Amino acid sequence: MLQRLALAFGLLLLGPLLATAHGPTPQRADETLAIAAPPDAVWKLVSGFGTIGDWHPLVQKVAVTGGEAAGAERVLTLAKGEITEGLDEVDTGAKRLSYRLLKENPEALPVSFYTATIEVKPAGDGSEVAWSARFYRADTTNEPPEDRNDEAAVAAMTDFIKQGLEGLKAKAAGK
Amino acid sequence: MTRLYAGLAAPLLAAALLAPAPVAAQEGPGPVAAIVSQQAGAVTLVDVRAARRLAEIKTPRVPAALAATPDGRTLYVTHPDLGLVSRIDVAARRVETSFPVGKEPFGIAVIEDGRALLVSDWSADALIRLDAATGRETARAAIGRSPASLVVEPRSGRAYVADRESNQISVVDIPTMRRVAVVPTGKAPFALALSPDGGELYVANVQSNDLSIVETATTREVARIRIGLMPYGVAVSADGATVAVTNQQSGKVALLDRATRKVIGKARTGDYPEGAAITTDGRLVVANWADDSLCLIVLSEPPSCRERVPVATGPRNITILAP
């Protein structure tokens, strides 16, 4: 996984990228974390689409509409602004949840679009949580500024996911 | 004797019995799939029947789409971010040359028995025709915004291009390189496939989670079918009976019965599936972009990955090479 990210960074440094609209080159972030709590307990936290603010340290406020079913939307207030996400699919059997960005805000998170999936799997006495995202940089024109290029997008998404997983771990441990 | 032989060879025999092709055809090399991996900058060749990697061919950076000549000896790969198209000598396992094409060449098809190419230009909103030997542009047609995949119907001499940001298909007459029709579709059409008889065009609409069916004779959308989250790749079986559509956001592939236009099966393929292709002997190949793997499904069996084959990082599109 770290190798993947390193490779992604390495490739990005090789030359300027040219893209428009969503651009043809998607980026990825992919993190997993072991959590010493039963999968059911962790899934209960993850599947609460409107309660991510209870455990994600970067989410200051959540306003959810449509409950916890596919089609629900949530507005996340981050340090530098709001983004809106839509819930695509909840697979309770597989403990897997998929969502996407509906309204971008490059000030808050420097990406133009993403889809993401969180999956909770049993691992030993506890759980393993895998959180992945497929996304495009914020500025999809030919010469994006440094804070809106592919590297900035990968760094921001990776940080959002890592901090989320750590927050989930802390919440599951009852802290 | 027979019993003993059967016991020893049970797994092999079981595999042969389950396969739809005749046993005699199992002995030679199987159909070869070529898979383009955008992050690795490589094309992987895979023997689909044996589920075995044959070669990995390095290309210039960020290759996106690919097309093969009818004889299977040459592959062309687009590099949207570099404004290049590369030509690969399949037998030599190497890139022969790369030539500049338009601004952001994305979708690609081979025409005129390999003498010419059609390329969609994502940022110029154009379909470009090239001399395959020199890479020289010979004609272009203005089409819709952000054209992605394209397919060619040789009998009618028409190309169909998915204009992603215009939510439409552009139909281009290849001899004159003029757009002759526009077909509105669902939201963000991206991948395309034609039925073997050329009568129907299947359009995967990424943002509206459906599949448009376009009747090519009338250039009209005759059906729009809910197919699953983020349909990103589409393929049709050689007998025309089955249409496979990847659902990227669910990690699944949906199988549609062409006659009834109903989804008859779904299988989990892996993480973020994109391109799909079907061999002439009925094997479905799906590229899992985030897993760096292929899922191989035999269409005559209940849908599930019978084999997984690792490929270079970030696989997106697939084409099957002629033997």
For residue range B120-133, list pLDDT tens digits in order.
999 899 999 999 99
Read off the pLDDT band of A22 (50, 70, 90).
Answer: low
> Is residue A123 scored above 60 in pLDDT?
yes
> Is residue A8 scored above 50 in pLDDT?
no
| Contacts across the A-B interface (CB distance below 8 Å) | 81
What ipTM describes this predicted complex? 0.79
Read off the pLDDT band of B29 (50, 70, 90).
Answer: confident
How does pLDDT run across A151-164, given as a tens digit for each residue? Answer: 999 999 999 999 99
Read off the pLDDT band of B20 (50, 70, 90).
Answer: very low
Q: Kindly identify which residue of chain A lies nearest to residue B103, measuring between CA atoms.
A: A18
Task: Collect all residues of chain B within an 8 Å Cβ-Cβ radius of residue A21.
Answer: 122, 145-146, 164-165
Identity of the residue in A11, A23, A28 whose CB atom sits nearest the CB atom of B290: A28
Considering only residues B319 and B13, tell me which one the structure prediction assigns the higher pLDDT: B319
Task: Collect all residues of chain A within an 8 Å Cβ-Cβ radius of residue B39.
Answer: 7-8, 11, 28
**What is the distance in angstroms between the Cα of A77 and the nearest Cα belonging to chain B?**
24
Mutate: best of B249, B289, B293, partner A, most A CBs <10 A:
B249
* DSSP character at residue B27: S
- pLDDT given at position B17: 41
> Is residue B294 scored above 80 in pLDDT?
yes
The arrangement of secondary structure in A26-172, i.e. its CATH architecture, is 2-Layer Sandwich (3.30)
Mutate: best of B166, B272, B288, B316, partner A, most A CBs <10 A:
B272
**Domain ranges (residues) in chain B:** 31-321
> Torsion angle of alpha carbons B120, B146, A107, A62, nearest 10°?
-120
* Cα A142 to Cα A14, A148, A149, B41, B65, distances in angstroms: 15, 12, 10, 20, 20
How does pLDDT run across B120-174, given as a tens digit for each residue? Answer: 999 899 999 999 999 999 999 999 999 999 999 999 999 999 999 999 999 999 9
Give the separation between CA B161 and CA B290, rounded to whole angstroms.
Answer: 26
**Collapsing DSSP states into helix, strand and coil, what is residue B222?**
strand
Q: What is the mean pLDDT of residues B246-255?
A: 96
**Domain ranges (residues) in chain A:** 26-172
- pLDDT given at position B251: 95
Q: Which fold has domain B31-321?
A: Methylamine Dehydrogenase; Chain H (2.130.10)
Lowest-confidence range among A12-16, A54-58, B80-84?
Answer: A12-16
**Collapsing DSSP states into helix, strand and coil, what is residue B263?**
strand
Tokens of B9: 């060879």
B104 contacts A24? CB cut-off 8 A: yes
Is pTM, for the whole model, over 0.90? no
Lowest-confidence range among A80-84, A104-108, B22-26, B263-267?
Answer: B22-26
Give the separation between CA B311 and CA B323, rounded to whole angstroms.
Answer: 21
